[in-house]
Amino acid sequence: MSLSLAAANAADGPVQVHMQTTAGAIVVELYPDKAPQTVANFLRYVDGGHYNGASFYRTVTFENDNGKPWIEVVQGGLDTSSPPFAPIAHESTAKTGLRHENGTISMGRDGVGTASSEFFICVGPQPALNHGAMRNEDGQGFSAFGKVIAGMDTVRRIHG
Protein backbone atom coordinates (compact mmCIF):
# COMPACT_ATOMS: atom_id res chain seq x y z
CA MET A 1 0.00 0.00 0.00
CA SER A 2 1.65 3.21 -1.15
CA LEU A 3 1.48 6.41 0.90
CA SER A 4 1.57 9.99 -0.28
CA LEU A 5 1.42 12.65 2.44
CA ALA A 6 1.01 16.42 2.38
CA ALA A 7 0.70 18.83 5.32
CA ALA A 8 -1.55 21.87 5.58
CA ASN A 9 -0.29 24.21 8.29
CA ALA A 10 -2.66 26.26 10.38
CA ALA A 11 -1.50 29.62 11.73
CA ASP A 12 -2.32 28.53 15.27
CA GLY A 13 -3.30 25.15 16.60
CA PRO A 14 -3.62 21.79 14.86
CA VAL A 15 -1.95 20.82 11.59
CA GLN A 16 -3.68 18.56 9.09
CA VAL A 17 -1.85 15.89 7.11
CA HIS A 18 -3.53 14.23 4.13
CA MET A 19 -2.52 10.63 3.45
CA GLN A 20 -3.41 9.12 0.10
CA THR A 21 -3.31 5.33 -0.02
CA THR A 22 -4.44 2.81 -2.59
CA ALA A 23 -7.27 1.97 -0.15
CA GLY A 24 -8.46 5.60 0.09
CA ALA A 25 -7.70 8.88 1.82
CA ILE A 26 -6.95 9.53 5.50
CA VAL A 27 -6.74 12.97 7.12
CA VAL A 28 -4.98 13.29 10.47
CA GLU A 29 -4.94 16.30 12.74
CA LEU A 30 -1.68 16.83 14.66
CA TYR A 31 -1.30 18.71 17.95
CA PRO A 32 1.98 20.67 18.09
CA ASP A 33 0.80 22.45 21.24
CA LYS A 34 0.65 19.10 23.09
CA ALA A 35 3.45 17.06 21.45
CA PRO A 36 5.75 19.62 19.78
CA GLN A 37 8.82 17.42 19.25
CA THR A 38 6.85 14.48 17.92
CA VAL A 39 4.78 16.62 15.54
CA ALA A 40 7.90 18.46 14.29
CA ASN A 41 9.63 15.12 13.68
CA PHE A 42 6.67 13.67 11.76
CA LEU A 43 6.30 16.85 9.67
CA ARG A 44 10.01 16.74 8.84
CA TYR A 45 9.39 13.39 7.15
CA VAL A 46 6.16 14.59 5.50
CA ASP A 47 7.51 17.92 4.24
CA GLY A 48 10.67 16.25 2.93
CA GLY A 49 8.63 13.69 0.97
CA HIS A 50 10.21 10.82 2.90
CA TYR A 51 6.91 8.95 3.36
CA ASN A 52 5.98 9.19 -0.34
CA GLY A 53 6.03 5.66 -1.69
CA ALA A 54 6.10 4.20 1.82
CA SER A 55 3.35 1.95 3.11
CA PHE A 56 1.25 0.70 5.94
CA TYR A 57 3.26 -2.48 6.21
CA ARG A 58 1.89 -4.09 9.37
CA THR A 59 -1.55 -4.70 10.78
CA VAL A 60 -1.81 -5.85 14.37
CA THR A 61 -5.03 -7.63 15.32
CA PHE A 62 -6.12 -9.67 18.31
CA GLU A 63 -5.53 -12.76 16.15
CA ASN A 64 -1.88 -12.04 15.21
CA ASP A 65 -0.60 -9.93 18.13
CA ASN A 66 2.20 -11.58 20.09
CA GLY A 67 2.35 -8.86 22.75
CA LYS A 68 0.40 -8.54 25.96
CA PRO A 69 -1.93 -6.86 26.40
CA TRP A 70 -3.27 -7.23 22.88
CA ILE A 71 -3.70 -4.20 20.65
CA GLU A 72 -5.15 -3.36 17.24
CA VAL A 73 -3.25 -0.89 15.03
CA VAL A 74 -2.00 -0.31 11.49
CA GLN A 75 1.68 0.60 11.30
CA GLY A 76 3.39 2.65 8.62
CA GLY A 77 6.76 4.19 8.01
CA LEU A 78 9.66 4.62 5.67
CA ASP A 79 10.54 2.53 2.72
CA THR A 80 13.56 0.50 3.84
CA SER A 81 15.74 2.29 1.26
CA SER A 82 15.40 5.58 3.18
CA PRO A 83 17.44 5.96 6.37
CA PRO A 84 15.55 7.51 9.30
CA PHE A 85 16.50 10.77 10.99
CA ALA A 86 17.96 10.64 14.50
CA PRO A 87 15.56 9.45 17.23
CA ILE A 88 13.59 12.01 19.23
CA ALA A 89 12.84 12.48 22.92
CA HIS A 90 9.80 10.62 24.25
CA GLU A 91 6.68 12.73 24.84
CA SER A 92 4.53 10.44 26.98
CA THR A 93 0.77 10.60 27.23
CA ALA A 94 1.26 11.63 30.87
CA LYS A 95 2.96 14.80 29.59
CA THR A 96 0.75 15.52 26.57
CA GLY A 97 -2.65 14.52 27.93
CA LEU A 98 -3.37 12.70 24.66
CA ARG A 99 -4.66 9.13 24.84
CA HIS A 100 -4.59 6.15 22.50
CA GLU A 101 -8.21 6.17 21.38
CA ASN A 102 -9.85 5.13 18.12
CA GLY A 103 -7.95 6.92 15.33
CA THR A 104 -5.02 8.17 17.43
CA ILE A 105 -1.74 8.48 15.49
CA SER A 106 1.36 7.69 17.53
CA MET A 107 5.06 6.98 17.08
CA GLY A 108 6.39 3.44 17.18
CA ARG A 109 9.43 2.80 19.35
CA ASP A 110 11.52 0.18 21.07
CA GLY A 111 13.05 1.90 24.11
CA VAL A 112 12.29 5.38 25.42
CA GLY A 113 13.89 7.96 23.12
CA THR A 114 14.15 5.64 20.09
CA ALA A 115 11.17 6.86 18.01
CA SER A 116 12.12 8.17 14.59
CA SER A 117 10.07 7.39 11.48
CA GLU A 118 7.66 4.56 12.26
CA PHE A 119 4.10 5.47 13.24
CA PHE A 120 0.81 3.70 13.83
CA ILE A 121 -2.90 4.46 13.93
CA CYS A 122 -5.11 2.90 16.61
CA VAL A 123 -8.13 0.86 15.56
CA GLY A 124 -10.44 1.23 18.55
CA PRO A 125 -9.33 2.43 21.99
CA GLN A 126 -5.87 1.12 22.99
CA PRO A 127 -5.29 2.07 26.65
CA ALA A 128 -2.41 -0.45 26.84
CA LEU A 129 -0.35 2.05 24.80
CA ASN A 130 -0.72 4.93 27.28
CA HIS A 131 1.75 5.95 29.98
CA GLY A 132 1.46 3.63 32.97
CA ALA A 133 0.18 0.67 30.97
CA MET A 134 2.35 -2.33 30.37
CA ARG A 135 2.49 -2.89 26.60
CA ASN A 136 6.16 -1.93 27.05
CA GLU A 137 7.85 -3.13 30.21
CA ASP A 138 9.13 0.40 30.91
CA GLY A 139 5.52 1.61 31.41
CA GLN A 140 6.21 4.83 29.49
CA GLY A 141 3.70 4.16 26.73
CA PHE A 142 3.94 5.57 23.22
CA SER A 143 3.96 9.17 21.96
CA ALA A 144 0.47 10.03 20.71
CA PHE A 145 0.48 13.22 18.66
CA GLY A 146 -2.77 13.45 16.70
CA LYS A 147 -5.89 11.68 15.47
CA VAL A 148 -7.71 10.69 12.31
CA ILE A 149 -10.41 13.25 11.52
CA ALA A 150 -11.49 11.74 8.17
CA GLY A 151 -10.95 8.35 6.59
CA MET A 152 -11.24 6.00 9.53
CA ASP A 153 -13.10 3.71 7.12
CA THR A 154 -9.88 3.59 5.07
CA VAL A 155 -7.86 2.72 8.19
CA ARG A 156 -10.29 -0.13 8.91
CA ARG A 157 -9.99 -1.38 5.31
CA ILE A 158 -6.20 -1.45 5.66
CA HIS A 159 -6.54 -3.19 9.02
CA GLY A 160 -8.64 -5.86 7.31
* Nearest residue to 91 (alpha-carbon basis) of 111, 110, 113, 121: 113
Name the residue type at position 96. T
Domain coordinates of the chain in residue numbers?
4-159
Which listed CATH number (2.40.100.10, 2.40.30.10, 3.30.70.260, 3.30.1490.480) goes with 4-159?
2.40.100.10
| Tens digit of each residue's pLDDT (9 = 90 or more) over 47-84 | 888 898 889 999 987 777 777 778 999 999 987 677 89
CA distances from 58 to 37, 73, 75, 88, 98 (A): 25, 8, 5, 22, 23
Q: What is the pTM of this model?
A: 0.92
